[in-house]
């Protein structure tokens, strides 16, 4: 289901004109604002599904709220009556405040700037779009008999539609304003609602009481001192770990190696810890945290070398391969003709290696205003991911991130401007 398309279909010309009349704004600006709010509300609900509490609250709001299928069918008629419109906007603003705490004001400011309308008008339109979105979700839940977890998966699947359809200017505002940079770059891992929330305790049922076991004097004291010593040792070890990593990060030679690698035969890049694993509560394995060694790739041999590497059981995971054929038209996210064959080869490799997980690392140095290099690099990496997913690869096996130009400027570094930037897509093997 493409929730964004369904919502936009509900924004008929009559709906837009009536909403514009109600908020006293021009119809063309109102349409831009309403469509912008469709993307924003979907993105906000998508983010809400990454926590157990959020999944539960959203599912309960859809089941018990006033927004249902009848609202969807009567939406246009409601806007004919100013009093009904006011009540609907109030209910919608209450719902958005409950589902996306402390974000209503920032959404209003963002849409006001994007559509060039008054902030108060943007807030009112937000109140109208929210119950419409909840009503469509309610209708879907009823028709498909979805539970909370299925609803969360449905919203997680909206990510690709969001990236493909949202205007870049708004997508950048949303990424910052809603705090969804990581979700857009890496992917959405919906949380499963706690079973305790789905099966509330029956009235009159006695709660199990905790009865502590008797503690022997000597053993109890020793146990307490032992736990205290372990905690102290953990704190000391953690402090040393943080200090040691801080020192490593600030090392000038390591920084220079990580940065000045553009257009060389051998590149060394450092990719961040796998965010999908951290969202899912899984510790990344130690090999994925090690600094990867980049393989030299020339004359279109990237896939061949990657295949040989995967076939070698002695080769550890964590290596990064440059893919020179993963190209895009200059300054855009439009794939070039050379891209698809390489994507197909990567898909075949992943199908032949079902436990293989990768991270697509994008760099860009040719973005055109108002798009930034960081945004463009992430979008290009995500387009490659989308093509691989469409070819049959499970999206959880692929991460996609964008690092902009790849130049990290340290305070007081006057040579940073002379360091070469990058424009490429790397493939890191997270797991073989």
Cα-based distances in Å from 234 to 31, 144, 228, 303, 316: 56, 49, 10, 44, 29
> What is the helix (H) or strand (E) element at residue 363, kind and residue range?
strand 357-363
> Does one domain contain both 172 and 51?
yes
Q: Per-residue pLDDT averaged across 70-92, rounded?
A: 91
Residue located via tokens 């009235």: 203
> Does one domain contain both 177 and 261?
no
Tell me which of 124, 152, 181 is where a domain ends. 181
Q: Estimate the share of the chain in helix, then strand, then coil, as percent rounded to the nearest 5.
A: 60, 5, 35
What total number of domains does the chain contain?
2
More confidently predicted of 389 and 228: 389
**Spatial separation of the C-alpha atoms in residues 121 and 98, rounded to whole Å:** 20
User: Considering only 100-104, 223-227, 308-312, which range has the smallest mean pLDDT?
Assistant: 223-227
Q: Is 189 among the domain residues?
A: no
> Does one domain contain both 288 and 389?
yes
Q: Whole-model pTM above 0.75?
A: no
Q: Per-residue pLDDT averaged across 181-193, rounded?
A: 69
Residue located via tokens 């093997």: 429
The answer to whether residues 23 and 114 touch, using CB atoms and an 8 Å cutoff, is no
> Does one domain contain both 296 and 416?
yes
**Spatial separation of the C-alpha atoms in residues 212 and 400, rounded to whole Å:** 49
pLDDT of residue 270: 34
Tell me which of 181, 204, 226 is where a domain ends. 181
> What is the helix (H) or strand (E) element at residue 400, kind and residue range?
strand 398-402
**Spatial separation of the C-alpha atoms in residues 432 and 317, rounded to whole Å:** 6
> Does one domain contain both 61 and 172?
yes
Q: Is 296 among the domain residues?
A: yes
Q: Per-residue pLDDT averaged across 50-70, rounded?
A: 83
> Does one domain contain both 176 and 261?
no
Task: Read off φ and ψ for residue 15, nearest 5 degrees.
Answer: -65, -45
> Does one domain contain both 273 and 390?
yes
Residue 37 has pLDDT above 90, yes or no: yes
The token duo for 71 is 């609202």
Tell me which of 181, 199, 224 is where a domain ends. 181
The answer to whether residues 46 and 187 touch, using CB atoms and an 8 Å cutoff, is no
Q: How confident is the model at residue 237 (pLDDT cuts 50, 70, 90)?
A: low
pLDDT of residue 413: 64
Rounded to 5 degrees, what angle do the CA atoms 408, 321, 316 make? 105
CATH assignment at residue 326: 3.30.1330.60
Spell out the alpha helix ranges (H) of 145-216.
148-156, 158-165, 168-177, 181-186, 195-198
Residue 166 has pLDDT above 70, yes or no: yes
Q: Is 195 among the domain residues?
A: no
pLDDT of residue 201: 41
pLDDT of residue 412: 63
pLDDT of residue 290: 33
> Does one domain contain both 11 and 128?
yes
> Does one domain contain both 274 and 365?
yes
Residue 298 has pLDDT above 90, yes or no: no
Residue 404 has pLDDT above 80, yes or no: yes
User: Considering only 3-17, 344-358, 401-415, which range has the smallest mean pLDDT?
Assistant: 401-415
Q: Given strand 424-431, what is the order of strands in its sheet?
A: 294-295, 320-322, 424-431, 357-363, 398-402
Domain span at residue 166 reads 3-181
User: Considering only 66-70, 293-297, 316-320, which range has the smallest mean pLDDT?
Assistant: 293-297
Three-class SS string for 48-70?
HCCCHHHHHHHHHHHHHCCCCHH
Residue located via tokens 């992943």: 350
Q: Is 92 among the domain residues?
A: yes
Mean of pLDDT over the chain = 76
Q: Is 215 among the domain residues?
A: no
More confidently predicted of 74 and 206: 74
What does the pLDDT look like over 239-295, one tens digit per residue?
A: 554 444 443 333 333 333 333 333 222 233 333 333 333 333 333 333 333 333 333
Q: Is 231 among the domain residues?
A: no
Q: Is 187 among the domain residues?
A: no
**Spatial separation of the C-alpha atoms in residues 94 and 329, rounded to whole Å:** 45
Q: 154-184 as b/e, with b when 16 or more CB fall inside 10 Å?
A: bbbbbbbbbbebbebebbbbbbebbebbbbb
Q: Is 209 among the domain residues?
A: no
> Does one domain contain both 147 and 264?
no
**Spatial separation of the C-alpha atoms in residues 18 and 16, rounded to whole Å:** 6
């Amino acid at each position: 289901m493409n929730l964004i398309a369904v919502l936009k279909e509900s924004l008929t010309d009559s709906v837009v004109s009536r909403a514009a009349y109600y908020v006293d704004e021009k119809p063309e600006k109102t349409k831009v604002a309403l469509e912008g709010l469709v993307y924003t509300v979907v993105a906000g609900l998508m983010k809400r599904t990454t926590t157990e509490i959020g999944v539960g609250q959203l599912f309960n709001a859809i089941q018990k709220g006033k927004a249902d299928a009848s609202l969807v069918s009567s939406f246009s008629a409601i806007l004919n009556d100013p009093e009904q419109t006011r009540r609907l906007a109030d209910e919608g603003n209450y719902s958005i405040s409950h589902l996306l705490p402390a974000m209503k004001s920032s959404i209003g400011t963002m849409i006001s700037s994007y559509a060039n309308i008054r902030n108060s008008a943007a807030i009112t339109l937000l109140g109208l779009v929210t119950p419409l979105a909840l009503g469509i979700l309610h209708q879907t839940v009823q028709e498909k008999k979805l539970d909370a977890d299925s609803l969360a998966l449905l919203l997680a699947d909206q990510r690709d539609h969001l990236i493909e359809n949202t205007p870049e200017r708004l997508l950048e505002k949303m990424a910052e304003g809603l705090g969804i940079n990581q979700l857009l770059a890496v992917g959405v891992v919906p949380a499963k609602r706690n079973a305790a929330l789905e099966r509330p305790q029956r009235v009159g049922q006695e709660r199990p009481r905790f009865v502590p076991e008797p503690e022997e004097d000597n053993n109890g004291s020793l146990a307490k001192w032992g736990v205290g010593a372990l905690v102290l040792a953990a704190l000391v070890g953690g402090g040393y770990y943080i200090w040691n990593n801080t020192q490593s990060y600030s090392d000038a030679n390591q920084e220079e190696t990580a940065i000045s690698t553009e257009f060389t035969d051998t590149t060394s890049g450092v990719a961040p810890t796998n965010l999908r694993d951290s969202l899912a509560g899984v510790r990344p394995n130690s090999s994925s945290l090690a600094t990867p060694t980049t393989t030299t790739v020339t004359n279109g041999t990237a896939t061949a070398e990657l295949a040989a590497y995967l076939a070698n059981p002695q080769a550890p995971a964590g290596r990064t391969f440059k893919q020179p054929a993963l190209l895009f038209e200059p300054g855009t996210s439009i794939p070039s003709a050379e891209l698809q064959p390489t994507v197909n080869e990567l898909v075949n490799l992943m199908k032949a290696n079902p436990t293989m997980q990768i991270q697509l690392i994008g760099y860009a140095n040719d973005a055109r205003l108002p798009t930034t290099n960081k945004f463009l690099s992430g979008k290009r990496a995500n387009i490659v991911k989308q093509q691989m997913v469409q070819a049959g690869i499970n999206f959880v096996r692929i991460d996609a991130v964008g690092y902009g130009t790849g130049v990290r400027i340290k305070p007081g570094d006057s040579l940073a401007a002379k360091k070469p930037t990058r424009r490429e897509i790397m493939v890191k093997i997270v797991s073989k």
